[in-house]
């Protein structure tokens, strides 16, 4: 079970897209996990053959639990391995990988060998399941309530009949609460946890910069006049590209603050803040945004926004943005100051474009102007570097044809 | 296509974008951006859907004419009529 965010402790496996014997390659979506942020598609980091599924549907397991075993290419059948000393108790699962690398086959010396060390029991999940009164469990089954979504009020957090009744009431009350794979109430809690942690731990500083975007608007109008709707570009795509390029040139804003130090990220994965109808918000990553040509960046952004709103975000998109962009679009307000999503160290905000009197070559004329802000983590790069970074974004937007 | 058919297509596509919106009771002259919270990405999705469904390629310069329900129906009716077979 991968960690899909700083505050995630456990996830519920809701769908397996592979079965034992299936061949998978790195990057394939193999499962869907329900978290506070909604249903997340889990990709494998290993190529090979699925050997064993370790987590059943509907099981809630802590982060770090292996979900399946994959036999990698070239790994031999366990029977072919020479005898080894009998293994003791099965060891704890590796903590990090989403889908565990197949453990080196261990074979007992005498007798018919079990090919693979059995996984340890999933203690937390089992314990969680045990604390449900039989009447509550029966009621939940009758009404199709997932017990992992019920908060227990009994001794040691045990789920009682009344708790399940209350959950049924909640599920029935607001019909728009669930949208696609999204649970907006749970998402609200995740936002609350991340933003509260940010404001508790990160000493933010804020900079703002007004940038004329007439060049961008003209360039977009000319370009889009020649394109069918499927391929048209939005100002947002130029904004993402400019920020991504600036982040590559100023690596101090692209990465994570962890264990009292800043770690620059090797790639630029721009988190795109996506508002979700009904009051949700997520900022999944557009991978390698600095390297994508604008047309690919635009189609990637459209796909990402649509999937986010439909509740189909992939695990890697949730966990690896290295810097975030938030934009309130062409309506609303002129300036937005973002809150950094930990452990990132910067968020860039775009307000709406407005026509303002502007001095160009000594004369005042109407120009489209946008206010770009930077919220930076003062433990990492300071405000001086932030000013240069923000100015670089403004400069890049003056030459949209080079983006 | 009659105006009623076009209105039905427009409403269906807007409903795909904003499932919670009650388009039947929406003021036909209301700005969709504010009335049902349509952003630039949503609007592009709408324009793309109309292109796929009706074969009508609406240039960006005409977007402001489609920003109300009434305007969108009138624009599509006029241009579908004038570019038959397109």
> Does a structural domain hold residue A162?
yes
Domain layout of chain B by residue ranges: 3-82
Q: What is the CA radius of gyration of chain B?
A: 12
Q: Is residue A219 domain-shared with residue A285, that is, in the same domain?
A: yes
Q: Minimal CA–CA distance to A100: which of A60, A61, A72, A58?
A: A72
Helices (H) and strands (E) counted in chain B, each on its own, are 4, 0
Task: Determine contact: B61 vs chain A, CB below 8 A.
Answer: yes
Span A323-377, pLDDT tens digits: 999 998 777 899 999 999 999 999 999 999 999 999 989 999 999 999 999 999 9
Q: Is residue A376 domain-shared with residue A314, that is, in the same domain?
A: yes
Q: Is residue A98 domain-shared with residue A155, that is, in the same domain?
A: no
Residues on A contacting B at a C-beta cutoff of 8 Å: 176, 179, 221, 224-225, 228-230, 232, 234-236, 275, 277-278, 301-302, 305-306, 329-331
Q: Is residue A333 domain-shared with residue A360, that is, in the same domain?
A: yes
The last residue of one of the domains, among A141, A173, A205, is A173
The total number of structural domains that make up chain A: 3
| Model confidence band, residue A169 (pLDDT cutoffs 50, 70, 90) | low
pLDDT at A89 over 60: no
Task: Determine contact: B79 vs chain A, CB below 8 A.
Answer: no
> Does a structural domain hold residue A126?
no
pLDDT at A113 over 90: no
> How many CB atoms are located within 10 Å of the residue A146 CB?
14
Q: Minimal CA–CA distance to A329: which of B47, B41, B46, B35?
A: B41
Q: Minimal CA–CA distance to A315: which of A4, A1, A38?
A: A4
Span A226-274, pLDDT tens digits: 999 999 999 999 999 999 999 999 999 999 999 999 999 999 999 999 9
Task: Determine contact: B33 vs chain A, CB below 8 A.
Answer: yes
pLDDT at residue number B28: 92
Give the distance from residue A91's alpha carbon to the nearest chain B alpha carbon, in angstroms. Answer: 49
Which residues of chain A lie closer than 8 angstroms to B47, CB-CB?
229
User: B39–A228: do the CB atoms touch at under 8 Å?
Assistant: no
Q: Which parts of chain B register pLDDT below 50?
A: 84-86
Burial A4-25 (b: 16+ CB within 10 A, else e): bbbbbebbbbbebebeeeeebe
Q: Is the dihedral of CA A128, A129, A134, A138 positive or negative?
A: positive
Nearest CA in chain B to A224: B60
How many degrees, rounded to 5, is the angle at CA A19 between CA A14 and CA A25? 100
How many degrees, rounded to 5, is the angle at CA A136 between CA A131 and CA A141? 110
Q: What is the mean pLDDT of residues A143-147?
A: 77
* CA end-to-end distance (rounded Å), chain A: 38
pLDDT at residue number A176: 40
CB-based contact A313:A307 (threshold 8 Å): yes
Output the six-digit token pair for A356: 């303002």
Q: Which burial class, exposed, middle or buried, applies to A129 when counting CB atoms under 10 A from its CB (0-12, 13-18, 19+)?
A: middle
Q: Is residue A210 domain-shared with residue A163, that is, in the same domain?
A: no
Q: Is residue A296 domain-shared with residue A160, that is, in the same domain?
A: no
Q: Is residue A196 domain-shared with residue A301, that is, in the same domain?
A: yes
The CATH number given to whatever domain includes residue A159 is 4.10.320.10
* 0.80 surpassed by pTM: no
User: B40–A235: do the CB atoms touch at under 8 Å?
Assistant: yes
pLDDT at residue number A172: 54
Location of structure tokens 């009344």: A162
Spatial CB neighbours of A231, under 8 Å, sequence gap ≥ 6: A295, A298, A299
Give the distance from residue B2's alpha carbon to the nearest chain A alpha carbon, in angstroms. Answer: 24
Q: Is residue A204 domain-shared with residue A165, that is, in the same domain?
A: no
Nearest CA in chain A to B58: A229
The last residue of one of the domains, among A77, A103, A121, is A121
Give the distance from residue B19's alpha carbon to the nearest chain A alpha carbon, in angstroms. Answer: 9
> Does a structural domain hold residue A374?
yes
Quote the CA–CA distance of A312 and A80 in Å, as a whole number: 42
The CATH number given to whatever domain includes residue A97 is 2.40.50.100
* SS3 per residue for chain A: CCCCCCCCCEEEEEEECCCCCCEECCCCEEEEEEECCEEEEEECCCCEEEEEECCCCCCEEECCCCCEEEECCCCCCHHHCCCCCCCCCCCCCCCCCCCEECCCCCCCCCCCCCCCCCCCCCHHHHHHHHCECHHHHHHHHHHCCCHHHCCCCCHHHCECHHHHHHHHHHHHCCCCCEECCEEHHHHHHHHHHHHHHHHHHCCEEEEEEEEECHHHHHHHHHHHHCCCHHHCCCHHHHHHHHHHHHHHHCHHHCEEEECCEEEECCCCCEEECEEECCCEEECCEECCCCCCCHHHHHHHHHHHHHHHHHCCEEHHHHHCCCEEEEECCCCCCCCCCCCCCCCECEEEEECCCEEEEEEECCEEEEEEEEEEEEEEECCCCCHHHHHHHHHHHHHHCCCHHHC
CB-based contact A259:A266 (threshold 8 Å): no
| Cα separation values, A2 from A54, A63, A174, A189, Å | 14, 6, 31, 19
pLDDT at A104 over 90: no
Classify domain B3-82 at the CATH superfamily level.
ACP-like (1.10.1200.10)
Burial B30-41 (b: 16+ CB within 10 A, else e): eebbebbebbbb
> Does a structural domain hold residue A3?
no
Q: Is residue A268 domain-shared with residue A332, that is, in the same domain?
A: yes
Location of structure tokens 């489609």: B66
Q: Is residue A324 domain-shared with residue A392, that is, in the same domain?
A: yes
User: A229–B47: do the CB atoms touch at under 8 Å?
Assistant: yes
Q: Is residue A239 domain-shared with residue A308, that is, in the same domain?
A: yes
pLDDT at residue number A91: 39
A5 alpha-carbon distance from chain centroid: 7
| Model confidence band, residue A222 (pLDDT cutoffs 50, 70, 90) | very high
Partners of residue A373 on adjacent β-strands? A208, A349
Which residues of chain A lie closer than 8 angstroms to B41, CB-CB?
234, 236, 301-302, 305
User: B40–A232: do the CB atoms touch at under 8 Å?
Assistant: no
Quote the CA–CA distance of A166 and A98 in Å, as a whole number: 34
- Please give the residue range of the domain that contains residue A214: 185-402
CB-based contact A317:A285 (threshold 8 Å): yes
Output the six-digit token pair for A143: 């009404």
Span A42-74, pLDDT tens digits: 888 788 888 888 888 888 888 888 888 888 876
Give the distance from residue B67's alpha carbon to the nearest chain A alpha carbon, in angstroms. Answer: 13
Span B6-23, pLDDT tens digits: 999 999 999 999 988 888
Q: Minimal CA–CA distance to A119: which of A138, A97, A92?
A: A92
The CATH number given to whatever domain includes residue A391 is 3.30.559.10
User: B40–A234: do the CB atoms touch at under 8 Å?
Assistant: yes
Which residues of chain A lie closer than 8 angstroms to B61, CB-CB?
221, 225
Mutation pick from B59, B64, B67, B79 vs chain A, by most beta carbons of A within 10 Å, is B59
Give the distance from residue B60's alpha carbon to the nearest chain A alpha carbon, in angstroms. Answer: 7
Give the distance from residue B16's alpha carbon to the nearest chain A alpha carbon, in angstroms. Answer: 11
Q: Please report the ipTM that was assigned to this predicted complex.
A: 0.89
């Amino acid at each position: 079970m991968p960690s899909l965010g700083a505050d995630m402790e456990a996830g519920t496996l809701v769908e397996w897209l592979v079965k034992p014997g299936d061949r998978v390659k790195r990057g394939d979506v193999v499962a869907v996990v329900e978290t506070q942020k909604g249903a997340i598609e889990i990709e494998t980091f290993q190529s090979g053959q699925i050997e064993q599924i370790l987590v059943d549907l509907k099981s809630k397991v802590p982060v770090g639990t292996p979900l399946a075993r994959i036999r990698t290419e070239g790994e031999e059948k366990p029977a072919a391995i020479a005898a080894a000393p009998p293994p003791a108790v099965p060891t704890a699962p590796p903590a990090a990988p989403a889908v565990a690398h197949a453990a080196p086959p261990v074979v007992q010396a005498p007798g018919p060998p079990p090919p693979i060390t059995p996984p340890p029991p999933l203690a937390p999940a089992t314990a969680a399941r045990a604390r449900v009164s039989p009447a509550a469990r029966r009621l939940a089954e009758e009404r199709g309530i997932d017990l992992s979504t019920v908060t227990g009020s009994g001794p040691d957090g045990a789920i009682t009949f009344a708790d399940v009744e209350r959950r049924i009431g909640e599920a029935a009350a607001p019909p728009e609460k669930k949208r696609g794979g999204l649970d907006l109430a749970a998402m609200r809690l995740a936002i609350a946890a991340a933003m509260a942690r940010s404001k508790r731990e990160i000493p933010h500083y804020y900079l703002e910069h007004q940038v004329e975007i007439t060049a961008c608007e003209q360039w977009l109008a000319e370009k889009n006049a020649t394109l069918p709707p499927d391929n048209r570009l939005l100002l947002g795509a130029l904004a993402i590209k400019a920020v991504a390029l600036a982040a590559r040139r100023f690596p101090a804003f692209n990465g994570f603050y962890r264990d009292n130090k800043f770690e620059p990220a090797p790639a630029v994965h721009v988190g795109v803040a996506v508002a979700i109808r009904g009051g949700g918000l997520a900022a999944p990553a557009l991978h390698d945004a600095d390297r994508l040509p604008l047309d690919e960046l635009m189609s990637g952004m459209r796909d990402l926004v649509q999937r986010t709103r439909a509740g189909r975000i992939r695990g890697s998109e949730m966990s690896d943005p290295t810097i975030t962009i938030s934009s309130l679009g062409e309506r609303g307000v002129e300036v937005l100051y973002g809150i950094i999503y930990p452990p990132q160290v910067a968020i860039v905000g775009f307000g709406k474009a407005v026509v303002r009197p502007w001095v160009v070559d000594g004369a005042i004329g109407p120009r489209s102007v946008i206010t770009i802000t930077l919220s930076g983590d003062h433990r990492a790069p300071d405000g001086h570097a932030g000013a240069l970074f923000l100015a670089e974004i403004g400069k890049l937007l003056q030459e949209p044809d080079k983006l | 296509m009659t105006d009623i058919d076009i209105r039905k297509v427009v409403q269906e596509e807007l409903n795909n974008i904003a499932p919670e919106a009650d388009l039947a009771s929406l003021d036909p002259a209301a700005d969709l951006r504010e009335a049902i919270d349509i952003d630039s990405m949503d609007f592009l999705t709408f324009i793309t859907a109309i292109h796929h469904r009706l074969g009508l390629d609406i240039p960006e310069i005409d977007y402001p004419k489609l920003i109300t329900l009434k305007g969108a129906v009138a624009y599509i009716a006029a241009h579908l009529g004038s570019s038959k077979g397109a």
